[in-house]
Amino acid sequence: MALKERGAITGIGETAYSKNSGKSVVALQMQASLEAIADAGLSPTDIDGVIVYGPSGVVAEDFVTNFGIPDLRFSATTPMGGASAVAAVQCAIAVIVSGVCRHVLIPLGRNGASGSRIGARVREMPQFRVVGEFEMPVGAIAPAQLYAPMARRHMELYGTTSRQFGEIAVATRRHAALHGNAIMTAPMTLEDHHASRMIADPLRLFDCSLESDGAAAIVVSAAERARDLARRPVYVMGVAEGHPDSPSVISQRPDLTTLGLAKAAPRAFAMAGVGPGDIDVAEIYDCFTYTVLCEIEDLGFCRKGEGGPFVEGGATALGGRLPVNTHGGLLSQAHMAGLNHVVELVRQLRGAGGATQVPDAEIGLVTGYGDMGDGSVAVMRRG
């Protein structure tokens, strides 16, 4: 509980999201980072810690070089794929509370559409070493193919349907169309979802997230310093990461329908001193629609197996019982490996959500999901 209410998100930045940025990944991350640092009312030389996203290839030293940081005191990476961004928030607060750093920058950016694609990159990553040896040779190559059996098992055990996955896709697209910085904005219906081609059964094209170009960045500062900075702070009430059983190989996991988030969520809620019923808005990692449904269960919004009925009837859309991914998520805004989810939650809790603002949002949460099931979650409140 040492991290409870000790850190705050004090600055956020984002580039425009696109399918062809025309810029280097380093330039994208610098642009988003400069915006986040200015948003906090800080100078780039105030940054004394950087937690980078390993797969992007941009390292902490790039920030020292480009910003002229005189004395970087901490650098790290949180190698959990899509769970990295929220896990980095936990890491940042830990080094702030311990006195190592004052202001930690968390950047994330990629040319995921115009550069090499995720499906090609995963085969080169060490955390996929085991599936690389035993599962990819028999044809389970891409994340969609490796994750689809989790969704299929959920459907067979609990009666979950593709149409319920579609509910998530449709609500998310509706938010993207309103947001102002999202790649996919054309209206989508449940029928459109059903008509989209099958990728890895039961996952259709519209169950899958985007590949995109762009960058996001946040600044994490000590809670007591945050009050003196430029923006209304957003305090991190509770934060945790969790690793599922058989973390690197889904096929060997005792329960295919449970993620690492199921371990992290109770710890984060206990630290925060609130429960799922207190959450006004949720930015939930959505590499696939099914992942959102499973995370809703693992977070405790409903019981295991009840995620399908939970999301029906636009429940995750603005005005629904749990507005989810008010920015359009990875499914429709852009794939920034979930740092765009953190940025959006901060915007919501500042009351700066624009057309997708959840009225009177006071407490929200953001999750990450990565590699083969690592999870992370932060519960935040407006200052």
Partner 1 sequence: MPTEAAGKPLPEPTRDSKPYWDGLNEGRLLLQQCAACRKIRHYPRPVCDACYSMEVAWIEASGRGCVHSWTVAHHPFHPGFKEELPYIVAIVDLEEGVRMNAQMRGVTPGEMRIGLPVRVAFERTKEGLTLPAFVRAP
Size of the site for partner 1 (CB under 8 A): 37
Query: Cβ 158 to partner 1, closest distance in Å?
Result: 12
Tokens of 115: 């550069």
Cα distance between residue 260 and residue 295, in whole Å: 9
Please give the single-letter amino acid code of residue 55.
P
Strand order of the sheet with strand 234-242?
74-77, 49-52, 103-111, 213-222, 7-14, 234-242, 374-382, 363-370, 281-283
256 is a contact residue toward partner 1 (CB under 8 A) = yes
Query: Cβ 131 to partner 1, closest distance in Å?
Result: 9
Query: Cβ 79 to partner 1, closest distance in Å?
Result: 16
Could you tell me if 33 and 63 are in contact, meaning their C-beta atoms sit under 8 angstroms apart? yes
Neighbouring residues of 11: CB distance < 8 A, sequence distance ≥ 6: 36, 37, 38, 39, 40, 41, 42, 217, 218, 219, 229, 230, 231
Span interacting with partner 1, options 15-23, 119-127, 306-314, 368-376, rule CB under 8 A: 119-127
- Contact pattern from residue 128 through residue 157 relative to partner 1, giving x for each residue in contact according to CB under 8 A and a dash for the rest: -xx-xxxxxxxxxxx-xx--xxx-xx--xx
Nearer to partner 1, 79 or 149 (CB): 149
Nearer to partner 1, 171 or 250 (CB): 250
Query: Cβ 142 to partner 1, closest distance in Å?
Result: 4
Cα distance between residue 234 and residue 249, in whole Å: 36
* Binding to partner 1, residues 198-217 (CB under 8 A): 198-203
What H or E segment, with its residue span, contains residue 190?
Answer: helix 190-195
183 is a contact residue toward partner 1 (CB under 8 A) = no
Query: Cβ 39 to partner 1, closest distance in Å?
Result: 38
Nearest to 107 by CA among 77, 70, 138: 77
Query: Cβ 3 to partner 1, closest distance in Å?
Result: 29
Which positions lie near partner 1, rule CB under 8 A? 119, 123-124, 129-130, 132-142, 144-145, 148-150, 152-153, 156-157, 197-203, 249-252, 256
